[in-house]
Amino acid sequence: MTDASALPGQPRGVVGSGPATARALNVLAPNPSAMTLDGTNTWILAEPDSDLAVVIDPGPLDEGHLRAVVDTAEKAGRRIALTLLTHGHADHAEGAGRFAELTGTRVRALDPALRLGDEGLAAGDVITTGGLELRVVPTPGHTSDSLSFHLPADRAVLTGDTVLGRGTTMVAHPDGRLGDYLDSLRRLRSLTVDDGVHTVLPGHGPVLEDAQGAVEFYLAHRAHRLAQVETAVENGHRGAADVVAHVYADVDRSLWPAAELSVRAQLEYLGEHGLI
C-alpha cells in the first residue's frame, strides 16, 4: 500500500462526503469518471456559529445530489445564502440554475453567462456571508474563467480544477492557455508561501494537506511535460495526436483526448516563445 504522506500534496484518505476543515464540508456528487475522479466535490462553507452557508460548485444537474446539498446544510442548521462557481464546466456548474431555484440564491461567477443575479466575481473580491470570508483568486489556464477561493480562517484554498486531489489537470485548449496556467500555479504557490495556506480543497479527489508540495509538483510536472513535447517535436512528431501517442504512451488511452488538449496548449506555448 502506498503511503499517502509520500504522495504529492499529502492526499487525505478516501474521498467522500463530510467535514474537511472547521468551515468546509464536502458533498460528493455521484458522477465518477476518468475525468471527474471520484465525482465532483460540492463544498458547503460556513462559520461554525453561523446559520448562513455558501456553496461552491453545485455540480451536475442531478436532482438527488442538489437536494442532498440542501439537506446537508439544513441538517446543520444552516440556510444556503450564496452560490459560487469556480468555472463553467458542466460537472461543476450545470446544476447551478436548478440549485438556485431550490435555494433562492444568486449565482456568482466570472463568466457573465453563468451568473444569476447582478453581481459577478473578479480578482480581489472579498466575499463575506454570515461572518465567513472568502477571497477571490484568479487562476485561469484550465479554462479562461477558472477561479480559486482563499479561505483564510482555515488556511485553505478551494481550487476547482486548477489543482486536483489526485493526478494532474488538463489545459482545455483553446479556451485554456498554458502560460496563464503556469502563472496561476505561481499565484497559488504565493498563497502557500506568503499567506500560510496549507490545505487544498479541490474540485475532484481528496483534500490535500500540503498545498505547497502539491503546487510545486504541478509546476515540476508541467515543466517536464513541456520538455517532453519539445523533444518530441524536434524528433519529428508534429501533430498533436502524434505527440500524445509518443509522450503519453504510458497514460490510459481514455485520457488521451484530454491530453491532446493539453498538448495543443503546449505546442501553442512553445511556438509563442520561439522554442519550436
Name the residues annotated as catalytic: 91
Given its phi and psi angles, is residue 10 left (phi above 0), alpha (psi -120 to 50 degrees) or beta? left
Give the closest residue to 249 by CA, choosing from 259, 235, 236: 259
- Grid cell of 246 as nine digits: 509518443
CA distance 271 to 30: 40
Name residue, grid cell 502506498. 2
Task: Give the contacts of 207 (CB within 8 A, at least 6 positions apart).
Answer: 11, 12, 20, 165, 199, 200, 201
